[in-house]
Chains A and B, each alone.
Chain A
């Protein structure tokens, strides 16, 4: 499978714990995006990388959230001191560096439940 993969698919944690998610984009894609999606809503942009550079962060990304893409390939999203409001589906997408028609391909998501 050469699509975007995410790990784990599901994560249940207790409030206050730290969690880390991983995203492996399509191999030739330079851009990698993180989104958060709550039930019944569309995804909300969190941050994006071009190669290893983090170029934009949403105001949704509080200081408890940090994302990295150290070698311009896979990325990790860490949430520290999780809160119940962090419960959501975290989606990763990747795209090649192109024009306006550049399509983002989404992974299956990591569903986080904070108890």
Chain B
């Protein structure tokens, strides 16, 4: 069964600090991995996408890594801002018709001043 597990479930950090979120997956055959940011009450918004051959991708203060051998990914947030408070969802796509996605449960990040 395709699964995506994220840790921690929630995280509180002080403004300006860095943090790293983890994602482990068992989706096969692997196509790509995305990190989405979801603000409360809104739909998810794509931050990064990585294919099998990519091991790092940045989007501003967000840097994602991918180890396809161990099936692990991380999302690093640098110099956090209050607007980074959101859920961050790891999403893995299998090589199948329909670009079907498997979502992790998300990590809820709260940035405090």
Residues on A close to B: CB < 8 A? Answer: 4, 31, 40-45, 48, 50, 55-56, 91, 93, 95, 100-109, 111
Whether the Cβ atoms of A45 and B42 lie closer than 8 Å is no
B91: chain A residues within 8 A (beta carbon): 42
Best-surrounded residue of B32, B95, B101, B104 (most CB of chain A within 10 A): B101
Whether the Cβ atoms of B42 and A42 lie closer than 8 Å is no
- Shortest distance between the CB of B9 and any CB in chain A (Å): 8
Whether the Cβ atoms of B103 and A103 lie closer than 8 Å is no
Residues on B close to A: CB < 8 A? Answer: 4, 9, 31-32, 34, 36, 41-46, 49, 51, 89, 91, 93, 95, 97-101, 103-106, 108
Q: Determine the distance from Cα of A44 to Cα of B104 in the docked complex, in whole angstroms.
A: 9
Q: Determine the distance from Cα of A56 to Cα of B34 in the docked complex, in whole angstroms.
A: 22
Whether the Cβ atoms of B105 and A41 lie closer than 8 Å is yes
B43: chain A residues within 8 A (beta carbon): 4, 91, 93, 106-109
A109: chain B residues within 8 A (beta carbon): 41-43
Q: Determine the distance from Cα of A102 to Cα of B94 in the docked complex, in whole angstroms.
A: 12
Q: Which residue of A lies closest to B102 (CB)?
A: A45
Whether the Cβ atoms of B98 and A55 lie closer than 8 Å is yes
Whether the Cβ atoms of A104 and B105 lie closer than 8 Å is no
Known: A40-B106, A41-B106. 16 other contacts (CB 8 A): A4-B43, A42-B104, A43-B89, A48-B98, A56-B97, A56-B100, A100-B51, A100-B93, A101-B49, A104-B46, A105-B46, A106-B45, A108-B41, A108-B42, A109-B42, A109-B43
Best-surrounded residue of B9, B42, B89, B99 (most CB of chain A within 10 A): B99
Whether the Cβ atoms of A101 and B32 lie closer than 8 Å is yes
Q: Determine the distance from Cα of A48 to Cα of B99 in the docked complex, in whole angstroms.
A: 10
Q: Determine the distance from Cα of A104 to Cα of B44 in the docked complex, in whole angstroms.
A: 9
A50: chain B residues within 8 A (beta carbon): 98
A100: chain B residues within 8 A (beta carbon): 31-32, 51, 93, 95, 99
A93: chain B residues within 8 A (beta carbon): 43
B51: chain A residues within 8 A (beta carbon): 100-101
Whether the Cβ atoms of A42 and B93 lie closer than 8 Å is no
Indicate which residue in B31, B41, B45, B89 contacts A42 across the interface (CB closer than 8 Å): B89
